[in-house]
Structure 1
Amino acid sequence: MNRLCLLPLSMAILTACQNPKTETKQRKLPELITQNSQIVVEKEGQVFRDLNSNSKLDIYEDSNQLIEARIADLLSQMTLEEKAGMMFIGGVGISEDAKPDGKEKIKGPGARMPSVVEYMDSKKMTYFNIWDIPEDPVTFAKWYNNTQRIAENTRLGIPVTIASDPRHHFSNNIFSMSAQGFSQFCETLGFAALRDEKLMKKFADIVRQEYVAIGIRESLHPQIDLATEPRWARISGAFGEDAALTAKLVKAYIKGMQGDSLSGTSVACMTKHFPGGGPQKEGLDPHFSFQKGQIYPGNNFDYHLIPFEAAFEVNTAAIMPYYGVPTDQTEENVAMAYNKAIITSLLREKYNYDGVVCTDWGLITDVPMGPDVIWKARAWGVEDLSEAERVQKVIEAGCDQFGGEMRPELVVQLVNEGKLTEERIDQSVKRLLKLKFELGLFDNPFVDDSKVHEVLNKREFRELGEHTQRESMTLLKNEDVLPLTKNKFKVYIKNIDSAVVANYATVVTNPEEADYAIIRLNAPWYPVETKNPFALGFHHGDLDFKGEEKQKILTLLQKVPTIVDIYLDRPAVIPEITEASSALIANYGASDKSVCEVLFGNTAPKGKLPFELPSSMEAVYKQKADVPYDSEKPLFKFGFGLQY
């Protein structure tokens, strides 16, 4: 049967349709453009989507019914295959022609994967995450609407839910998606440096508005792991090493994204990584087989739960456990999502958490990464299990959904073999359906693609983003140099755009001609020796500059009074650079213009360090991975920051 293609409904109309107290005689029905036969039904002056095309109003289609009743009705109509499909969230690419089955100029990993239509058809999947999107966000919004139109033509018309990793930060770290087209704020470490709950909530609300405008309704963030092991590669996505500060900020973050409760204007938060992924041995990330497990030499497991307790208080919609093995903390040394003591005993029972629990990405299936390179599934501790056995263990541990996997046939197989009951599958599907109903996706999943630029190009959003880049910067040293007087000095520059600096000072080509030098640095990191190309981009390894690179920096600092700006995506060990610099300032994701605005006094830096900076690598080696601010005689303590 050919079915209706719905155009985006206005928010005013949607609100009226969802409010049973509205007088139906005064309500103007939305104008629906149809193709051939309609899939709408009317009841008492209200119009509803006839998602299963049976020409009557089912309970699950009726927005006046309680969500629990709608879930029960829909669940009773779903096949095992449809239930299993909902338990998987996989990545898809976005074509430049906005066609869900298109392959035109898809960027990133999505170019190598089946289209969203193929997954919806063959796998019955309705949850997807996206990576690279077209340069114009309007194209994404059109793709999203087209995808929802295809979803409403499926047997039960179940809408899709689109999720995304963070994409609102000025960042050069591998874990932040491209912010092109969106407002660009400092990274979350910068918000920790500012310690401002109202600003945190305002940021999250802006993210929510921009996400909703194009159809992203689930965030694979916030990340609230604690940076107690300074070498860990994922510190840039979190809020530093202090549990109380992180807890305070995450509550504001989730409220800004979700509101007081989920609604048709919310973005659901998948908070991660339970029970805290910070204490990785030697900082080696468990994305990869070279990891050595999560360790707790300071017996400080509970400290890492504090931010999650705050997230539970504000009802985070979903939780993502990490890949790591909580070494010797439970009866089994198996990864978090496989660990029943972590998911059921701790998360479900102790914390009484009944939201969605989704694994981190890729726990079941090995992935080819090129010639002779296989990225092993993150099945730490259960490597010898078959793929079906891994799925069974994850579900029995208490998880609802598999991130980055497209294997629903394994769930069907396990039920048919009597190894899992359909009743257990229903528990997870109820949670996943509830999320879709609470977000209003069954009633109106569409966006108004004609208004995308009105939201994403708001001047106040962009200006606030740039403001956070500047104010979050942390002044660590100042020998009466900063702020510089604009258009007074000759400066020699390195790793910064001369065209930008020329608006503030005269740029010279030799340090000997300069009054000052300005150099931008990134915190040091050293890739692990591996054939996995993705792993090579992780900021692992020691925190200090070494050899020729270090000597080049120090040589410049000895030639001319030098202002050093360093990007801290994790702590850095820089005692010699600190000693030799005339001024030292840290940023947490900032453009060249933002840096210049601070150095030349148009904005004052207000940030305080969200973690300590150790004085040596020897001190780092002696730290306990699970304990905050325990470095011996740190160069700069947690919370340090000068001002002018």
Structure 2
Amino acid sequence: MKKLLILAGILIMVSCDTNKSSSKDYKDATLSVEERVDALLPKLSLEEKVAQMRIFHANIGAQPDENGNLKLSEKVTQKLKLGIAGIKNPGEHIDPVAAAKLNNELQKYIIENNRWGIPALFVTESYNGVDAEGCTKFGRPMTSAASFNPELVRRQWDIVGREARLRGMHMCHSPEADIVRDPRFGRMSEAFGEDTYLTTQMVKNAVIGVQGDYEGLGKGTHIGAVAKHFAGYGQVLGGSNFAAIEISERTLIDEIYPPFEVAVVEARALGIMASHGDLNGVASHGNPELLTGVLRDQWGFEGYVVSDSNDIARLFYFMKVAESPEAAAQMGLEAGIDVDLYAEDSYAYLPEMVKENPELEKLIDRSVRRVLRTKFILGLFDNPYIDIEKTKKGVRSASSLELAKESDLESIILLKNENKTLPLSKEKPTKVALLGPLLKENTKTMFESVSGSNVTYLAEKGFSLTNEKGGAPQLLARDPQAINRLVNIAKGSDVVVLFLGGDQFTAKEAYFSNSTLGDRASIDPVGPQDELVEKIKALGKPVIVVLKHRRTLSINTIATQADAILDTWDLSEFGDESTARIVFGEVSPSGKSPVTIPRSIGQLPYHYSMKEINYKKEYLFLGKGPLYPFGHGLSYGDFKYSDISISGDEITPTTELTVSVKVTNNGDMKAKEVVQLYIKDEIGSVTRPDKELKGFEKISLDAGESKTVSFTITPKMLEFTGITMEKVLEAGNYTVKVGTSSQDYLETTFKLNK
């Protein structure tokens, strides 16, 4: 009898707790995020839950009218009756103030027209800053990676997060955490380079920056990051978007996963986007081992996973791993995809599918919980609107524009400087020809603003590389008259600056449509650019090449003919001004190449950290090694490395070592240098990389100044996936390389004893 009374008491207590929980108000801001989700989720109907798992694009009918007021299509109003997870790019083509006004109106409509007043996530992207009209335009991620300055990247993405939130956005389908090693891939410049460690540092700081160190999310000052594309997307075969991805399990663990892991574990990204492709035969959008096993069970990710554009449905009609659209939806749901991006033929089927399989609602609840959690973290239930007065003051502030210029200056790479061609003098009367297909309309004005009255300019683009039309731009026929015109202009100058490389039409995303292309089967510069540089060089004048591009190019002719080469990738809106400041010596270049620059496409795959055995043989009739190595970048300073030392000759699993090197600037001007630490495992149970970047530090030295730079070597740096597919520390010999690039360094050694 006593036991029954105790049991009855427990049941009453449980009942009371349950009633208390269900009576909690999800609008009560004093409750925890989890408590608010628990209070709201049971109230939703099945259809309302599924609505919280879908995102549509604003271009289907959530646009401003001619007076800037919100105009909704019938299709959109029907969608919003049940609420919505989010909307992509509302207000992207209007200025920030107009966008903030529009998004306030849109959010108000959404809140007032679904039963529970659930706000929507407004989603953007960031490749050159916020991907929307009127925001600060920074350099692309690959450009930022060339700075080798994670703190600078964090500040840049902090501005991205602030400017996005001020125009009414809440999430960003960025940054890319992909490792990119194939320059045929049109999206190469959207990522941070070929190296795992460099990419990890940049992704970590991008996520922390855009989320305001996580604290900015709830304060309404920043937006959530969605790191993408999980996983291996940058490794598509042939560099062709949507192609298969074949990566060994060991390479996945040691090289591909780390940037995503740090985004989740250390930077606390709110979202992850799955990869378009498959992974060793398993479609990523239907891969529970990847999206649940690795992402959640191993790394503890609590945010939501969003599909890439229409990719759940493509499990059926493109990947052909599902028997029907409904099977594709179930596959994505079971794998761990929480939000369906754009599709009308995928998660839209879930309400009907639950009638046949009620167990699916448990998985739906799991996903909806993650979406609602994100909205509560962002404070959208309590403060869903933007203060437009703050928008007016906060977007494109003077400090943001200056940061764009600072980022440019630290990202420009001096690949070559024969006979100290650069910098040019502002004091000496000089006539400079600015020529070539990558010349912009305002390039001459920007150079004039830097150089002063002693330097005069002749400026002419000459020709374009493509017709710049449509999803598949066509190369233009060689124009001998245009080439001759440029040569004749160059004859009247003292120095020629050629703007060469590629643009947004020669390297871009290859969308799903067959009529839209963006990848390229060659990495040589397109059009008659080589011919142009050869003819200009034949005039006997100094030739400076400003290389602009969004993919690595095999610039063999340019490297031979040019006296100096400034590799600028894709800089900010002030790129040509920053380039001019480097050209005229206001600032010394300090960028380092975040990729290996090959001599030929035939060398691919080609990155500095390949296995040592890959370097055994060279190719017939091709120069040795890369054209320029990873980490390469010259300076107007003259840096000398000396006195490398290590604190001991042995490390154990519980100890650390310190390696130090003295760096001296023997030049005559202040300059910055990136000191790079590489480690080589001399013998392993599996074949090991030739070397791996494990640390770097950017320092500034006055003329004649020296500094000792030290790095801590930890056991964690030496771990790798061994022969049993477990992380191991193996006893043996290691070589430490500290220097100015992956091929120019001083060495010392140590042993790992266990």
TM-score by length of 2: 0.68
Which one has the largest radius of gyration?
Answer: 2
Structure 1 CA distance for aligned equivalents of residues 104 and 588 of structure 2: 44
Pairs within 5 Å for 1:125-204: 125-130=84-89, 133-153=92-112, 154-166=114-126, 168-169=128-129, 177-178=131-132, 180-204=133-157
Structure 2 CA distance for aligned equivalents of residues 189 and 628 of structure 1: 24
Report whether the alignment pairs 1:243 with 2:224: no
The amino acid that maps onto 1:162 is F
- Structure 2 partner of 1:350: 298
Cα deviation for residue 197 of structure 1 reads: 2.1
Asked whether the 8 Å contact 2:593–2:633 carries over to 1, the reply is yes
Cα deviation for residue 624 of structure 1 reads: 8.3
Task: Look up the SS of the partner of 2:630 in the other structure.
Answer: coil
Asked whether the 8 Å contact 2:126–2:160 carries over to 1, the reply is no
Structure 2 CA distance for aligned equivalents of residues 546 and 146 of structure 1: 47
Structure 2 CA distance for aligned equivalents of residues 556 and 297 of structure 1: 47
Asked whether the 8 Å contact 1:609–1:639 carries over to 2, the reply is yes
Asked whether the 8 Å contact 2:187–2:507 carries over to 1, the reply is no
Report whether the alignment pairs 1:278 with 2:234: yes
- Structure 2 partner of 1:371: none
Structure 2 CA distance for aligned equivalents of residues 356 and 426 of structure 1: 12
Report whether the alignment pairs 1:589 with 2:570: yes
- Structure 1 partner of 2:633: 641
* Number of residue pairs the alignment of both structures matches: 549
Query: 187-196 or 213-222: which moved more?
Result: 187-196
Asked whether the 8 Å contact 1:91–1:129 carries over to 2, the reply is yes
Cα deviation for residue 384 of structure 1 reads: 5.9
Report whether the alignment pairs 1:506 with 2:446: no
- Structure 2 partner of 1:4: none
Structure 1 pair 528–221 and aligned structure 2 pair: CA distance change class (3 A): closer
The amino acid that maps onto 2:121 is T
Structure 1 pair 187–351 and aligned structure 2 pair: CA distance change class (3 A): same
Structure 1 pair 486–501 and aligned structure 2 pair: CA distance change class (3 A): same
Quick one: which of 590, 606, 626 aligns to 2:590?
A: 606
Asked whether the 8 Å contact 1:296–1:624 carries over to 2, the reply is no
Structure 1 CA distance for aligned equivalents of residues 69 and 40 of structure 2: 28
**As a proportion of its length, which structure holds more strand?**
2
Cα deviation for residue 234 of structure 1 reads: 1.7
Pairs within 5 Å for 1:411-430: 411-418=350-357, 420-430=359-369
Pairs within 5 Å for 1:487-498: 488-494=429-435, 495-496=438-439, 497-498=443-444
- Structure 1 partner of 2:462: none
Identity across the alignment (%): 27
Pairs within 5 Å for 1:85-484: 85-93=51-59, 94-96=63-65, 97-102=67-72, 116-121=76-81, 124-130=83-89, 133-153=92-112, 154-166=114-126, 168-169=128-129, 177-178=131-132, 180-258=133-211, 259-261=213-215, 262-265=217-220, 266-286=222-242, 291=243, 293-296=244-247, 300-302=251-253, 303-313=255-265, 314-327=267-280, 333-364=281-312, 380-382=318-320, 385-406=323-344, 408-418=347-357, 420-479=359-418, 480-484=420-424
Structure 1 pair 420–403 and aligned structure 2 pair: CA distance change class (3 A): farther
Structure 1 pair 318–306 and aligned structure 2 pair: CA distance change class (3 A): same
Task: Look up the SS of the partner of 1:563 in the other structure.
Answer: strand
Quick one: which of 531, 534, 538 aligns to 1:551?
A: 531
Structure 1 CA distance for aligned equivalents of residues 426 and 515 of structure 2: 43
Structure 1 CA distance for aligned equivalents of residues 422 and 523 of structure 2: 26
Query: 559-568 or 259-268: which moved more?
Result: 259-268
Structure 2 CA distance for aligned equivalents of residues 586 and 360 of structure 1: 32
Task: Look up the SS of the partner of 2:426 in the other structure.
Answer: coil
The amino acid that maps onto 1:177 is D
Task: Look up the SS of the partner of 2:226 in the other structure.
Answer: strand
Asked whether the 8 Å contact 1:83–1:425 carries over to 2, the reply is yes
Structure 1 pair 400–475 and aligned structure 2 pair: CA distance change class (3 A): same
The amino acid that maps onto 2:586 is N
Structure 1 pair 198–599 and aligned structure 2 pair: CA distance change class (3 A): same
Query: 253-262 or 202-211: which moved more?
Result: 253-262
Higher relative contact order (CA 8 A, sep 6+): 1
Structure 1 pair 194–420 and aligned structure 2 pair: CA distance change class (3 A): same
TM-score by length of 1: 0.79
Structure 1 CA distance for aligned equivalents of residues 143 and 607 of structure 2: 25
Query: 560-569 or 443-452: which moved more?
Result: 560-569
Task: Look up the SS of the partner of 2:162 in the other structure.
Answer: helix
Query: 80-89 or 589-598: which moved more?
Result: 589-598
Cα deviation for residue 437 of structure 1 reads: 0.4
Cα deviation for residue 601 of structure 1 reads: 1.9
Indicate the RMSD between aligned Cα atoms, in angstroms.
Answer: 2.9
Asked whether the 8 Å contact 1:228–1:628 carries over to 2, the reply is no
The amino acid that maps onto 2:328 is R
Deviations 1:132-155 (A, max 9, x none): 623421111011111121122121
Cα deviation for residue 402 of structure 1 reads: 1.1
Task: Look up the SS of the partner of 2:282 in the other structure.
Answer: coil
Task: Could you tell me which runs of 5 or more consecutive residues in structure 2 were left unpaired when the two chains were aligned.
Answer: 1-22, 459-487, 619-624, 637-754
Deviations 1:464-519 (A, max 9, x none): 11221232100000121111122631122224233434443312371111111111
Structure 1 CA distance for aligned equivalents of residues 261 and 511 of structure 2: 38
